[in-house]
Amino acid sequence: MTRFDSGADGIVRMKEGSLDEVFYPRSYLGIFMFTGIITHIGTVAERRDTGLRFSVPSNLLAGLTTGASIAINGVCLTVTEIDTAGSRLTVEVMPETLARTTLGSLRPGSRVNLELPLPISGRLDGHFVQGHIDGRGIIRTIAVLGNSHVYEIEIPSELRKYVAEKGSIAVNGVSLTVMRKMPDGFSVGIIPHTWECTTLADLKSGDEVNIETDILAKYVESINNT
């Protein structure tokens, strides 16, 4: 039986059977994931040839180091520079990421959703999100329904098989529940808290969004195809 123990020093200690205790930095284990619960909002401060610089809340930088992971609009990226005095951080973005996500359309002043990885002892309030974007969706309609806003989102045909009514999906990094599956996509409802605490309220019809489908659906497909 494998056991993981997390210490205050940021090291995960792994024991398996009678093997001697082995020490691994958390990032080496690949057990960090995101949850789709947005904790901070950032703003694009500068575009660079190979990256983006963001203005972020100062408390986000507490304990953050270069090489750390952060989800920006649902995209898992590596922090390459930290300016604590100016409350800014920089990430590098490769061409594949720009092609598959909406990061290429960000401009100075654009607001973005931010989330740090889930600690091994953390509480999972959303669903398992990897920060690996599957593709881009398009907002087709936005309607008000009671206290919520309902978005209808069109997605590429190859992603539709991973969508299930009442299942989970991440839109720009936000963990949401699928209200209804449609022939060309799905709909989700945004409650007031999510509307106020994320950048989803900035969206309008025709805007593109980052889509990450539920990892469990992908594993089920992989198993069935084996």
Structural domains present in the chain: 40-115 (2.40.30.20), 135-224 (2.40.30.20)
Q: Whole-prediction pTM value? A: 0.82
pLDDT along the chain (226 residues), means of 10: 43 40 39 82 93 94 90 95 94 90 95 87 71 95 96 97 94 96 97 96 97 86 83
Question: Of 23, 36, 39, 8, whose CA–CA distance to 120 is shortest?
Answer: 8
Angle at 130 between CA 64 and CA 91, to 5 degrees: 40
Predicted pLDDT of residue 208: 98
What is the C-alpha to C-alpha distance for residues 138 and 121, in angstroms, rounded to an integer? 35
For residue 13, what are its two tokens?
Answer: 């200690």
Query: Residue 126: what pLDDT?
Result: 62
CA-based nearest residue to 155, from 125, 188, 127: 188
Q: What's the confidence (pLDDT) of residue 131?
A: 87
Q: Look at residue 220 in the predicted model and tell me its pLDDT.
A: 82
Q: Within 13 Å, how many C-alpha atoms sit on residue 93's CB side?
A: 24
pLDDT at 9: 41
